[in-house]
Amino acid sequence: MDQVFLQPWTVDDLPVLESGNTNRMTSLLGGPESREQLVKRHAKFLRLWDEGEARMFAIRADSEEEPVGSVGYWKTKWANADVYEAGWSVATRYQGRGFASRALRECLRHAAALGDRQEVVAFPRVD
């Protein structure tokens, strides 16, 4: 089984967003984003890291040369409580190999180590 590890988001990670910007990957999210939207989201990930509001990571697997996806968490409110919300995406060609679950586990460890929120929530579509 591949070792999975997280790399903090960098200026070089725009291709990670591009690899998940397909009809299949975004069909439940309103469809693919334009190049301009991807560039803005990439810049937002970098800015929110610098501001301490979010932590986004590229998901790396020891058997793959390129990142297989992304995972992260950001500050938000839910049910009148300060929480983190988590999100993740693994490119279609890498799905079904357990990368998302292992990356999310590492992401949750990172959030717990920060220690400024009691809960992490996620709202994945199940359909």
Residue 115 confidence class, pLDDT cut points 50, 70, 90: confident
108 contact partners, CB below 8 Å, separation of at least 6: 86, 120
Cβ(78)–Cβ(115) below 8 Å? no
- Cα 107 from Cα 40, distance rounded (Å): 23
Examine the pLDDT at 127 and tell me if it is beyond 70.
no
CA-closest candidate to residue 114, choices 87, 74, 81, 79: 74
pTM higher than the cut 0.75: yes
- Cα 119 from Cα 84, distance rounded (Å): 6
- Cα 22 from Cα 108, distance rounded (Å): 27
- Cα 5 from Cα 22, distance rounded (Å): 24
List, for residues 19-45, the tens digit of each pLDDT value: 999 999 998 888 999 999 999 999 999
Instruction: Quote the distance between the C-alpha of residue 97 and its chain's center.
Output: 17
List, for residues 51-99, the tens digit of each pLDDT value: 999 999 999 999 999 999 999 999 999 999 999 999 999 999 999 999 9
